[in-house]
Structure 1
Amino acid sequence: MKDFMFEAEKGDSGTLDGRGLTIGIVQARFNASITEALAQACRSELIALGVAPEDIDLVQVPGALEVPLALQALAERDRYDALIALGCIIRGETYHFELVANESGAGVSRVALDYQIPIANAILTTENLAQAEARQTEKGRDAARVAVEMARLLERLA
């Protein structure tokens, strides 16, 4: 049995190298102040990693439940090296939180597996607005790093 151990592809600065990658982002508008901050941090990090601004496409959808369908439409274009899902689901007083969190997460995973494309899932699921605000910037950056690392990993595994 052969083990596959690949380090993320590094650029000259020793960081992840996003040069030449094309990334699609799907952003839910619900809880817009959070998702705008996620998108800003994600886009800034992608550019810092070397992804050209013109190679980053952003699509907005109403909420987290609509994210997987938009991801699927982007994946079908066969243009992207990786995709990113951005959204924010804050617990309320009803079962709706669980429904949206579970179904959006399952949908994101299904698209990734069906289309064999890396998808960084940064749909926040929090108890309250303060928790979402505390995570919005770092999770946006994390999503960018995951997308670049996984795109490079799949290139090497191909």
Structure 2
Amino acid sequence: MNKTPGSIIEGTLSAQGLRIGIVCGRFNHFFVDRLLEGAMDSFCRSGGIAENVTVAWVPGCFEIPAVAGRFVRSGKFDAVVALAAVIQGSTSHAGHINSSVASALCSLSAESGVPVVHGVVATESLDQATERSGSKLGNRGASAISTAVEMANVMRAIDPVLA
């Protein structure tokens, strides 16, 4: 009995020809600026061109899902990336924000079929935010855009199999 799947679908890491929407939360912009720099660098290094990226700035993380939804519904983007930095303070507010935004982005992606990638840095300290936005632990913006590129290519590869 043959145990090999009839179809294996994978995405490539080539950004060539892809159109990406990025929604950035302005709050903690020092970190978000670095996340965006990492995302753009990674996108261009993967064969994408900067002109194929549209960036929208919103006041904070909580406002990201509304604009991400508009991007998705426009039909103009192969994937959407959310970038923000939420740093825990002395209350549980940050946890509520992170959970709400992650849930909204996940639902948007699942319901629309357009990859919506969570590139929000959620940390307990400024040091951790620094590490995740381009120093010791890499750049979450770069990894988020790589995920978006791969998922956009997975979605493109699925279409012929399902036709």
Same fold (TM over 0.5): yes
Aligned CA distance change for structure 1 residues 157 and 30 (closer, same or farther; 3 Å): same
Q: 1:87 aligns with which of 84, 88, 94?
A: 84
Q: Work out the CA distance in 1 between the residues paired with 2:19 and 2:65.
A: 19
* CA-CA distance at 1:3 after TM superposition: 6.7
Which consecutive unaligned segments of at least 5 residues does structure 2 have? none
* CA-CA distance at 1:5 after TM superposition: 3.1
Q: Does 1:36 align with 2:68?
A: no
Aligned CA distance change for structure 1 residues 90 and 4 (closer, same or farther; 3 Å): farther
Tell me, what secondary structure is at the counterpart of 1:142? helix
Q: Which has the larger radius of gyration?
A: 2
Q: Work out the CA distance in 1 between the residues paired with 2:128 and 2:6.
A: 39
Q: 2:43 aligns with which of 43, 46, 58?
A: 46
Equivalent in the alignment of 2:151: 150
Q: Could you report, residue by residue, the CA deviation over 1:18-72 in whole angstroms, capped at 9, with x for unpaired residues? A: 1110000000001010001001110111111111111000000011110111100
Tell me, what secondary structure is at the counterpart of 1:18? coil
Q: Work out the CA distance in 2 between the residues paired with 1:55 and 1:104.
A: 25
After TM superposition, the score normalised by the length of structure 2 is: 0.89
Q: Does 1:66 align with 2:63?
A: yes
After TM superposition, the score normalised by the length of structure 1 is: 0.91
* CA-CA distance at 1:4 after TM superposition: 5.0
User: In structure 1, what residue type is equivalent to 2:118?
Assistant: N
Equivalent in the alignment of 1:12: none
* CA-CA distance at 1:6 after TM superposition: 3.0
Q: 1:20 aligns with which of 5, 9, 17?
A: 17
User: In structure 2, what residue type is equivalent to 1:5?
Assistant: I
Tell me, what secondary structure is at the counterpart of 1:45? helix
Structure 1: which 4+ aligned runs deviate by more than 4 Å? 1-4
* CA-CA distance at 1:93 after TM superposition: 0.8
**Contact between 2:42 and 2:142, CA under 8 Å: does it hold in 1?**
yes
Q: Could you report, residue by residue, the CA deviation over 1:64-95 in whole angstroms, capped at 9, with x for unpaired residues? A: 11011110010110010011000011111112
Identity %: 27
User: In structure 2, what residue type is equivalent to 1:8?
Assistant: G
